[in-house]
Homo-oligomer: A and B are copies of this chain.
Amino acid sequence: MAERFRVVYRLVGDEAAARERARDICLEQTVEVEEALVPPGMIRDHVVGRIEDLERVGPEHCEVTISYAAEITAFELGQLLNVMFGNSSIKGGIRVERLELCESLRTRFRGPRWGVRGLRERVGALDRPLLCTALKPMGTSPGDLADMAYRFARGGIDVIKDDHGLTDQPFCPYRERVVACAEAVSRANSETGGRAVYAPNVTSRAGELTALARFAREAGAGALLVAPGLVGFDSMRLIADDDAVGLPIISHPALLGSHVVAVDAGISHACLFGQLQRLAGADASVYPNYGGRFGFSREECRSIAQACREESGHFAPIFPTPGGGMDLGRVPDMLDLYGNDVMFLMGGALYARSPDLEANARYFRGLVEGPQNSMRPLGAG
């Protein structure tokens, strides 16, 4: 058991309190017995977590780095999350700041299949922010959604995804919708010479995700939407890794919110919406933008974007995909914050501007295509 990975936790309390807390985490996340019961030898020396660093980071907080043997994760994503935070998630005052993988663990995960570069090539947009929208509202028929998809594709949207609430409702069956929308986007592409992709939502019954994803591929979908908060991060990984699917994965944050709403508990925005998404094979990570109807701050959004794009071994950078109640007027400020390697998810605002969805899409596209933008350095802000 040579190699160890690290988890950085932010703990409430001064150094003494944090050290006691950290010792508890070392046991809780591994052997789950009190220190006196830990057998000497391999278990005490390797299996138990080890405090590697501890420093005060504010008047009431410390950051502690704990290392764990790679083998205790069984090289499984679910068990890695369990070691990172399984039982400790239930205690207040502990927040996962970031994960620092070791090589033997990292190499077991493929990470993003497409990443920023791959998705750019797929949609034929090499030097500007990508544009994404969602087909909605739920209750609309497959035919009408396909018509919307057609118009968005004609207007220059790159990724046209299902709203994340669309699964396999009686009024909008999955297979009928996927076939209709994929065909509509393909038709628009053939007319415009564009390369828009349709991304159906495969977040559905456990045990059926692979079949739904493969169906989507066969039907001509160009990407997939998955909500790991609903199906588990490893189910997203399974679909991302499936060579019979092979499509870019757009990750949606549904039900992940509980991890970030508490200041002193849960998982940091950067880890949850950046690091874990890349580890689980997402090529784009949807999260609520600052200033919209959700409460993320500009700084939290910046930290997510950084975690999506920073150097991380063989894990390709992915698209931070801010969305959620954005309005078109905020695009310039978002360009300032995010730079070019971003995908803007514009949902309701794109419907609200006018009844002409194609014109709305074209206007949106114009906002990110101005000459001032194409000169902006990648990732600036």
Contact = CB atoms under 8 A, between A and B. Distances in A.
For the complex formed by this chain, how many copies does it contain in all?
A: 2
A309 interface: no
A88 B134 CA distance: 18
A330 B276 CA distance: 39
B74 A169 contact: yes
A256 B137 contact: no
Interface in A265-314: 265-267, 288, 293-295
B92 A42 contact: no
B139 A46 contact: yes
Nearest to A88: B257
A22 to B, nearest CB: 14
A13 to B, nearest CB: 15
For chain A, give the interface size range.
35 or more
A134 to B, nearest CB: 7
A348 B32 contact: yes
Contact of A90 (B165, B257, B267): B257
A57 interface: no
A230 B232 contact: yes
A258 B253 contact: no
Contacts of A42: 139, 171
B352 A90 contact: no
Contacts of A258: 89, 258-259, 262, 265-267
A47 B139 contact: yes
Interface string A186-224: 000000000000000001111100100000000000000
A72 B169 contact: yes
A37 B169 contact: no
Nearest to A96: B258
B76 A205 contact: yes
A234 B89 CA distance: 21
A81 B230 contact: yes
A380 interface: no
A136 interface: yes
A82 B37 contact: no
Contacts of A231: 78, 206, 232, 234-235
Contact of A38 (B85, B137, B165, B294): B137
Contacts of A89: 229, 254-258, 261
A374 to B, nearest CB: 32
A381 interface: no
B294 A91 contact: yes
Given A33-B352, A78-B206, 5 more contacts: A33-B348, A43-B137, A82-B203, A89-B255, A90-B253
27 contacts: A30-B165, A33-B348, A37-B351, A43-B139, A47-B139, A72-B169, A74-B169, A74-B170, A74-B204, A76-B168, A76-B204, A79-B167, A82-B164, A86-B227, A87-B164, A89-B254, A89-B256, A90-B261, A90-B324, A91-B294, A91-B295, A205-B238, A206-B234, A230-B232, A235-B235, A258-B267, A261-B265
